[in-house]
Structure 1
Amino acid sequence: MGSASQLSYISTFHGALIVEDDPAVADRMRRILGELAPGRRVVVSSSCEEARSLLASLPYDLVLVDMRLPCSDGVSLIAHIRQTYQHIETIAMSASDDHELVNAAISAGAVGYLLTEADDAELSFLLRSIERGGAPMDSRVARRILGLIAASARTSSMLAIEPIRTSEPAPLSRPAPVSLSPRELKVLRLIAQGWSNRQIAEAVYLSINTIEFHAKSIYRKLAVKSRTQAVHEATQHGLLN
């Protein structure tokens, strides 16, 4: 008999696909997923072509994609999954936090990024966050992304104070597709600062369930599936200025 969290994990995800050509890494990730949810169907593919075929033939809820596959096609596979199977959560992974790989994976639609050099306990902890709508993101990767977002926000503020004079008008932020409520904007700005849902709940004197409700509403309105994507879209729309 599994724990309550394991049962929740099973009820949320029924099938997982690991796209990894290194047998040792593939077996390790399969074992970790199996321990999180005993009885869950976990399939391993060693190539992008095989992965596409498996996706078309069997239902999956979660896909882990190695960003350093020999075919160098991990980005296009993630984009394909996001466009064709919108219900699937796709998580990228690699041995190190190469910033180009991270940026490419998140831009393509990955909702998380794991570093396989982390120990089993850390990988298991990060994957469990999916149960509550979280983004499985290695802390080193998250810190890098938040730093890039902060730098981008500072640059935007400086340009707003001293606009560069050119022959063409300066590009404007894209208008937000929908409006966020004042409460949602506050939650979004705290998310952008790296606060967890529990920290936000304690800061604004609301329950964590209420904060999770607001976070899911933000994701829906911005048409994203993770914290990282939400902050990226909010930055593009000028919602964090």
Structure 2
Amino acid sequence: MSPPENGPITVALVDDYDVVVMGVANMFDRYRDRVVVAELDATMGVKDPVDIVLYDSFAQPESDHHEIGILVANPCARRVVVYTWNFHPDLIASAKERGAHGYLSKTLPARDLVAALEAVHAGETVISDPPARTRSAVGLDWPGRGEGLSDRESEILALITQGKSNADVARLTYLSPNTVKSYIRTIYRKIDVGSRTQAVLWGVRHGFTPDHHRIEHWKGGP
């Protein structure tokens, strides 16, 4: 697909974790003739007009799409797209009801993600096929990746670090309580801890608490 006629699409990346939005931004580096990251934001406060806001749902309470509604209502955001691994039908329906223009999988290769954003920019509503949980998109990053945690394990540990109970994690992620327990056992083994308190302390030391501040001076800005 060729670059848009009026220049590259401008995109704002929104998440509460610096490392997550930086990882997504790095995926777009080789496609800067088609997509320009105009803003990185660790809050909901997108301040400059952009073609698309890409809302990465890392460790967010995904059953509550209030954040999506705020972004859709923001006059600076021409279109809003959710970027996630969680494809529960209720979450997709909720995002669409709140006005999201796309619901895209984190397993998409960069070229397919760019093509999907171009389709959204052209006026389409794009919903990815539910992903097979066998891989993550090349170039993505997340807290704990260097310590061997998968993206989903990291999201669960981030929720635990925020003080969520197992029942909260199951509700927010649409996983069964037994599946959550299984993930937590694996997380404990990987980070070499024996209790929830130790896991929370490990999470705090390793970037699993949200960064509630704007990310300034992004090198990819227009």
TM-score by length of 1: 0.44
More strand by percentage: 2
Q: Choose 1 or 2 for highest CA Rg.
A: 1
Instruction: Tell me the TM-score normalised to structure 2 length.
Output: 0.48
Kindly indicate whether structure 1 or structure 2 has the higher relative contact order, using CA contacts under 8 Å at least 6 residues apart.
2
Greater helix share, structure number? 1
